[in-house]
């Protein structure tokens, strides 16, 4: 039996990489999945077609997580179309890397608006519309807890902020049995950070398990947190990084 049958899910930044793997997994478990994308309409449409061809339910909406109104509008459109909202996956993110004294104000604003403010706004919108017993899961980063190389101060700060937001939202929404959790991927084999990239060998050297994560491994954890077996799990962090932070 599909554990998410009858549930409606929203995955931000779901057209590729980890987000696409999450969308596939939730759809495989029976959820009606809506993904958002900014520019990659072709990838989003192909993913929706793939899910539907396999007997699942999926939809794609263009939305920019830099724009708080876009986020609110997506939630409202989902409610108008589906009539319910059960699972929110905050996946969209951005990274700027470099020495701390060389970041521009625009890079700071982009990072904080997409990685932090958009998550806050999405959780606020979910709190208004989400059914009691819902699930909110945010994709963070293992770099929230350990900076293993220079140049990651801005990104690490933005992902660390999600820890406090997750714990606070878990307290606020707990009386409605809405769980709020945080998944911290380590290096994961996607087009943004391929396992054969120029930094990959150096990262593998400091991992306990000498390989990159697969996107489906992140999706499996998210699927469990979205399902009935995780009803008492909230305000928690789950790190999937092949032991990078051990």
- What CATH code is carried by the domain that includes residue 120? 3.40.50.720
Distance CA 237, CA 79 (A): 28
- Whether pLDDT at 151 is above 90: yes
- Band of pLDDT at residue 1, cut at 50, 70 and 90: confident
Flag whether 207 is in a domain.
yes
What pLDDT, in 10s, does the model give residues 41-98? 999 999 999 999 999 999 999 999 999 999 999 999 999 999 999 999 999 999 999 9
User: Which pLDDT score is estimated for 28?
Assistant: 98
Phi, psi (rounded to 5 degrees) for 107: -65, -40
Give CA separation, 45 vs 71, 72, 198, in Å: 19, 22, 30
- The domain in which residue 186 lies consists of 8-240
Instruction: Name the DSSP letter for residue 212.
Output: P
Q: Cite the active site residues.
A: 155
CA angle (192 as vertex; 109, 215 as ends), nearest 5: 115
CA angle (41 as vertex; 40, 47 as ends), nearest 5: 95
What pLDDT, in 10s, does the model give residues 158-216? 999 999 999 999 999 999 999 999 999 999 999 889 999 988 999 999 999 999 999 99
What's the number of domains the chain is made of?
1
Q: Where are the alpha helices (DSSP H) in 29-95?
A: 41-53, 68-82
pTM over 0.85: yes
Flag whether 76 is in a domain.
yes
Flag whether 245 is in a domain.
no
Dihedral angle of Cα 21, 25, 28, 30, to the nearest 10 degrees: -130
């Amino acid at each position: 039996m599909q554990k998410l049958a009858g549930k409606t899910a929203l995955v931000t930044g779901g057209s590729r990489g980890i987000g696409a793997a999450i969308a596939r997994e939730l759809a495989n478990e029976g959820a009606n999945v809506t993904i958002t994308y900014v520019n990659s309409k072709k990838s989003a449409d192909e993913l929706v077609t793939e899910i539907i061809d396999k007997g699942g339910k999926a939809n794609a909406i263009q939305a920019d997580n830099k724009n708080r109104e876009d986020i609110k509008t997506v939630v409202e459109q989902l409610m108008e179309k589906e009539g319910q909202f059960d699972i929110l996956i905050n996946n969209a993110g951005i990274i700027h890397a470099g020495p701390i004294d060389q970041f521009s104000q625009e890079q700071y604003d982009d990072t904080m608006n997409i990685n932090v403010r958009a998550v806050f706004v999405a959780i606020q919108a979910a709190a208004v519309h989400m059914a009691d017993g819902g699930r909110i899961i945010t994709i963070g980063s293992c770099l929230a807890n350990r900076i293993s190389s220079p140049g990651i101060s801005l990104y690490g700060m933005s992902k660390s902020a999600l820890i406090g937001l997750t714990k606070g939202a878990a307290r606020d929404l707990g009386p409605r049995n809405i769980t709020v959790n945080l998944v911290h991927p380590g290096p994961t084999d996607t087009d943004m950070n391929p396992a054969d990239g120029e930094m990959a060998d150096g990262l593998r050297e400091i991992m306990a398990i000498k390989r990159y994560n697969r996107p489906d491994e992140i999706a499996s954890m998210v699927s469990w947190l979205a399902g009935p077996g995780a009803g008492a799990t909230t305000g928690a962090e789950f790190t999937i990084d092949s032991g990078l932070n051990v």
